[in-house]
Structure 1
Amino acid sequence: MAALTSLMRAHQLALSLVESVLKPLGITFARYEVLMLLVFSQRGTLPMSVIGSRLQVHATSVTNAVDRLERADLVRRLPHPSDRRATLVEITDSGRRLADDATDRLNAEVFSQPGLSPRDARGLVEILTRFRQDAGDF
Structure 2
Amino acid sequence: MAPLRIDPVAEARRHWEERWGAEPSRPMAAVTSIMRAQQVLMARLNELVKPHGLTFPRYEALVLLSYTKRGELPIGKLGERLQVHRTSASSIVAALEDDGFVVRTPSERDGRATLAIITEKGRAAARAATEDLNAAEFGLGALAADAQEGLTTTLRTLRLDAGDFVS
Superposition TM-score tier, normalisation by shorter sequence: over 0.9
The whole-number CA distance in structure 1 between the counterparts of 2:163 and 2:140 is 29
The aligned counterpart of 1:77 is: 104
The aligned counterpart of 2:89 is: 62
Whether the 8 Å CA contact 2:44–2:139 is kept in 1: the answer is: no
The aligned counterpart of 1:50 is: 77
In structure 1, stretches of 5+ residues that fail to align are: none
CA-to-aligned-CA distance 1:60-102 (integer Å, 9 cap, x gap):
1111111111111110112111211101111001100000000
Whether the 8 Å CA contact 1:36–1:99 is kept in 2: the answer is: yes
The aligned counterpart of 1:91 is: 118
RMSD: 1.5
The aligned counterpart of 1:122 is: 149
Q: Provide the identity percentage.
A: 46
Q: What secondary structure is seen at the aligned counterpart in 2 of 1:77?
A: strand
Q: What secondary structure is seen at the aligned counterpart in 2 of 1:78?
A: strand
User: Which structure has the greater CA radius of gyration?
Assistant: 2
Aligned residues: 138
Q: TM-score, normalised by structure 2?
A: 0.77
In structure 2, stretches of 5+ residues that fail to align are: 1-27
Is residue 130 of structure 2 the alignment partner of residue 103 of structure 1?
Answer: yes
Q: What secondary structure is seen at the aligned counterpart in 2 of 1:81?
A: coil
Is residue 68 of structure 2 the alignment partner of residue 15 of structure 1?
Answer: no
The aligned counterpart of 1:33 is: 60
Q: Which amino acid aligns with 1:42?
A: K
Q: State the structure with bigger RCO (CA 8 A, min sep 6), 1 or 2.
A: 1
